Structure 1
């Protein structure tokens, strides 16, 4: 029996409001099923809580579930639950929220939601998610009965001018929402919401970890055997109820309750990976911000790790409902290789629940996740060195990006980083280990940047360091050129490039012993240094005698605060302007080529061949560090002419 039926008209601004939600708020119309299942899950949660609180409540909570029913011929899709249900007044208040709010007011709330907790007032209201159904349906019918009540309520609307609300008898406890789907588009099979595969796909994507079973009757076809016919006859079609979601929210369990195999399978599922994870990181936070997280560090780097559009691997859930994948606001970019899920009890989302608002909660969760991952890597470094080496081999260059972007965790990152060095051909070293091995009186951590270990070991910049037994870090990743410019020291020890500024490796006693010799050399070579500075002024800013060369005739030094050639090339490649930075030419006063050039300049200062020698000297200094002369053809010509005269 139906009683107390009303037909109401939407106001003009309410119709505009519905259009705003349907056409502007949601980026993907598939989200409607997520919203309906989320509402149903909330209703089941509320019933369970109410049954615990009110022992006299006459409800059956033995089989709480969500059911989906699709009718392909009638083109209807129904989502029902046996949860708390709603009274007539609650239907008006909750579903009617949009009609009461008005377009202008909701627009204002949408703007406020970007700044404050206004989004929390919107998300979680039944009406907001419920109205997403009009993206796919011409008419929506809701039937609901509150637990403990005898009268139910039916609400029907086509989302246009009017809606009908009425009280009815003989309805089951809970809520059912029936969508009368829009006409089928033969060219759009991907959005056939009556297709079993499509429903399975959406449940798997958005609602696989909902705590309640999501059931659907599916067809099972089996051959019908005929008497005397071994091959059987026509197919028999039977209906079988199947649970579509796994309900296995592993992050909600303690690590003791989950096997390694379960973790491995879950990781492969969310990361679309074939390998087992290197590290599993479960987390649970209670208090002001309640959330659970299950993170994984892969054992192999993905192919797109260094591409500009590489995805952040963390997925966001709110109360087990999938909100978004690749959530870059919950994990810094330098940890983009970390996979996993974060499930928050409450989160500031925009009105469609498809975007995360920037607020204090998001910042706090991101900070905690970051610190947890870094502390786990630190533990790996000391407790599982083989796994740490695997991690560093795969993800070391990415982690070093954090030295530039994450100043809050820069010291932690410096301690978990490893670097090749002249100390060992095989094992990398940490900065802590480097400092422990520093020579008596050594104040700086020396490093060299370049394209390969072999190139750096043969660099003239390392000659004096090698001769005196100083350890040098060998940095060969492109990011090393950048972070070394933003990290000034470690444990009070300044970082010093062997190719920058002035270097004096002599002890105080050696300085005193060599002082007279140096002054004599400076006076003796003064004219040559001045002439070379003038002759090579297009390339260099100064020429000086070197204390870092023992074998090579010359090398080029970048000023202390200047751009190295490699760094300048990187900036130019990214489209950023870089000022022209000339370098300093250092000479080895004991090398035969330099002494011969010095003698020739003293005896034949006007010899034009000396200019060619100066150009060749500068070019060979470039080649020795792995660079090329500015005009390779000119350099090759000069070299060929000089060789021809010596044959």
Structure 2
């Protein structure tokens, strides 16, 4: 089918008799939108006339009467005539009465065209601003709407300096999508610009008109904070060129004597400037979208972006005549209700649960900050958060109610706190030009320290006031706390603060009760300088451990913390001390035979130096270099022997990681272990008795004693090899029976 020109004046008259009828279909909306273009253009008859009129005769009778939809078999060709259709007329239906838009196509440019170049900036700089400064092209909507908000705020402040009877239009922002023309239009009723303002603000990249405006208002003795205005850098407008092949600007101040101005640029190193008529006070941006960015001419896409970045703006935003939903940010309320908090939480987590804990924090000194942080009610998957895609906490960062980051990084919250969800809003956040990246500064460091300290204080208060609820929290989120303690090994002050949140069962407390390190220190005996702990899979195994026996037999009735959770032992061993008290495992060599007094009740035969030396010598011979040293315990305990070395926790960790592929002999040599024998145990005595009568069985018994000690200490990595030796030993025993 041939294309032809369509007389839009004729179509406008046809529509005029029906303009009070509600729009019933997207095709009719497109037709009417196209009929308001206000420019000379050619419209394909196949798109507008036959498809959009004839095919909707039966489906959409409200839009066209039977006479208006009569078609001719001959092609229609006519010159397009501009005709403005007033969208503010009262309608007779409730559906259209809710629509409100100030966007029209009545503006026209006239007069001499001035071709100007951007001041002191080159095409390359403009390209960097438009293409390289922002990480996501949808951010341009945030930037342009933020500029409109600034313009409205400037107009509000400006109106305070004018006479009281002067009328001003309502402060509003209107957005219109046009997927037929591939345009996005943003218009506000803000302060507007005259010709000089346009040259100064749009003709110079990185020149902030907002900054100068605040300075002028302050000169007039108005108490205007620079933080009341969002834009500070003067580059946000140029983000429009990320998605636009051409940008047009119509602007006019609220001064009656001022004439409107028209600015346009294709994103090169120059722009054009003309006078303009029929321009409403404020600023209107017409973005001619690039072919690969036409999605921003779709209402659904723009609506989602506005909701994402600007849902908490205090200025009304209309999209295609419909007012966008907005609300006062919950975190800005002085006393938000429980319903408000639960609603915010459900928005953040996209679910219907309620938070386990809720932290509200507001401060103005030493920096401005409003935040609401939630501990999720459901268990958090720690390891999924370690992936690059989900790095950082699910905490949104706002600056003056404008979204800056969907997920904050470690510059704001420590990595260990990434299980938190919520919102942080601060006017003092130091941002780069794109308002996307946080700049390193002392202020940012202070913000992180303040938040970290407040989170720890909040959780510690939960432990003291609600110990049962906190113990459930720690069971699910304790790995994050332990990770934080390990990561802060170089910062003793912060590490000790975080260590207060760790929980342990205790030898001096009933099962099911928990203690933290702070409470342990308060219960320490006079003169005690060590915090003792024992690593074991369960409390039952810890209480029956030979290490607990040796401690009790030594006469040291110290409280012992049971490190029964994964990574407890490595966390404690790498922390070294707490509040000046050394953290020590009772498995350690420092707490072994050389550190206890000899039992005066030991048999004479076991106390004789010659007997002890013979015992140690035989075990050294039987075990070779599998042990670093053989010692005799001065106290009795139920097991034949125990293993000790300098750092049992680190040894267990290395056996599962860097030593995993080594042979059994290599692992044992690396452990540098000490075998501490119970000389009064009958099996140990039997080893000595058989050293001459049955050397092979004596050697098998000595090795089994070592194997059993390794299992007790959690240092046995492959029991299959031990079982082979045990079978040989059992065979020997069976032969003698």
TM category (shorter chain) comes to 0.7 to 0.9
Q: State the shift of 1:7 in Å.
A: 1.4
Matched ranges for 1:558-597 at <5 A: 558-559=645-646, 563-570=650-657, 580-597=670-687
Question: Structure 2: 5+ residue runs without aligned partners?
Answer: 1-108, 209-226, 662-666
Q: State the shift of 1:269 in Å.
A: 0.9
Change (3 A) 1:304 1:343: same
Partner of 2:429: 347
Moved more, 64-73 or 4-13: 4-13
SS in 1 for 2:637: coil
Partner of 1:317: 398
Contact 1:293 1:341 in 2 (8 A): yes
Partner of 2:172: 65
Alignment of 1:479 onto 2:567: yes
Contact 1:556 1:583 in 2 (8 A): yes
Question: Normalised by the size of structure 2, how large is the TM-score?
Answer: 0.73
Moved more, 260-269 or 8-17: 8-17
Contact 2:606 2:612 in 1 (8 A): no
Partner of 1:252: 332
Change (3 A) 1:2 1:48: same
2:499 to 411, 414, 417: 414
SS in 1 for 2:146: helix
1:207 to 298, 303, 310: 310
Contact 2:393 2:407 in 1 (8 A): yes
Q: State the shift of 1:612 in Å.
A: 2.2
Q: State the shift of 1:438 in Å.
A: 4.1
Alignment of 1:30 onto 2:30: no
Matched ranges for 1:620-631 at <5 A: 620-628=708-716
SS in 1 for 2:283: strand
Contact 1:559 1:584 in 2 (8 A): no
Partner of 1:286: 364
Matched ranges for 1:25-424 at <5 A: 25-52=133-160, 54-56=161-163, 60=167, 63-98=170-205, 124-125=231-232, 127-148=234-255, 150-160=258-268, 162-183=270-291, 192-217=295-320, 241-255=321-335, 258-287=336-365, 289-304=367-382, 307-309=385-387, 310-328=391-409, 329-406=411-488, 407=491, 408-422=493-507, 423-424=509-510
CA distance in 1, matches of 2:726, 2:130: 73
Contact 2:207 2:234 in 1 (8 A): no
Question: Normalised by the size of structure 1, how large is the TM-score?
Answer: 0.82
Q: State the shift of 1:440 in Å.
A: 6.1
CA distance in 2, matches of 1:588, 1:525: 11
Change (3 A) 1:33 1:480: same
Partner of 1:427: 513
**After superposition, what is the alpha-carbon deviation per residue over 1:290-333, rounded to whole angstroms, capped at 9, x for unaligned?**
23222222223322456522541221111111111221121001
CA distance in 2, matches of 1:438, 1:457: 20
Alignment of 1:448 onto 2:538: no
Change (3 A) 1:621 1:245: same
Moved more, 423-432 or 579-588: 579-588
CA distance in 2, matches of 1:440, 1:161: 79
Change (3 A) 1:87 1:546: farther
Alignment of 1:546 onto 2:633: yes
Matched ranges for 1:465-504 at <5 A: 465=551, 470-503=558-591
CA distance in 1, matches of 2:207, 2:439: 25
**After superposition, what is the alpha-carbon deviation per residue over 1:396-454, rounded to whole angstroms, capped at 9, x for unaligned?**
22112222233332232233322122332111112233344445665422111244444
Change (3 A) 1:612 1:211: same
CA distance in 2, matches of 1:321, 1:518: 82
CA distance in 1, matches of 2:614, 2:292: 90
Contact 1:11 1:99 in 2 (8 A): no
Contact 2:244 2:287 in 1 (8 A): yes
Q: State the shift of 1:589 in Å.
A: 1.6
Moved more, 342-351 or 67-76: 342-351
Q: State the shift of 1:585 in Å.
A: 1.1
Question: Structure 1: 5+ residue runs without aligned partners?
Answer: 102-119, 186-190, 218-240
Change (3 A) 1:573 1:13: farther
Contact 1:557 1:585 in 2 (8 A): yes
SS in 2 for 1:400: helix
Q: State the shift of 1:366 in Å.
A: 0.8
Partner of 2:697: 609
CA distance in 2, matches of 1:126, 1:607: 86
CA distance in 1, matches of 2:130, 2:630: 71
Contact 1:450 1:475 in 2 (8 A): yes
CA distance in 2, matches of 1:358, 1:537: 57
CA distance in 2, matches of 1:59, 1:573: 82
CA distance in 1, matches of 2:281, 2:645: 78
Q: State the shift of 1:34 in Å.
A: 0.9
| RMSD of equivalent CA atoms | 3.3
Greater C-alpha Rg: 2
SS in 2 for 1:403: helix
CA distance in 2, matches of 1:620, 1:438: 33
Contact 1:397 1:477 in 2 (8 A): no
Q: State the shift of 1:544 in Å.
A: 0.9
CA distance in 1, matches of 2:524, 2:269: 81
- Give 1 or 2: higher strand fraction: 1
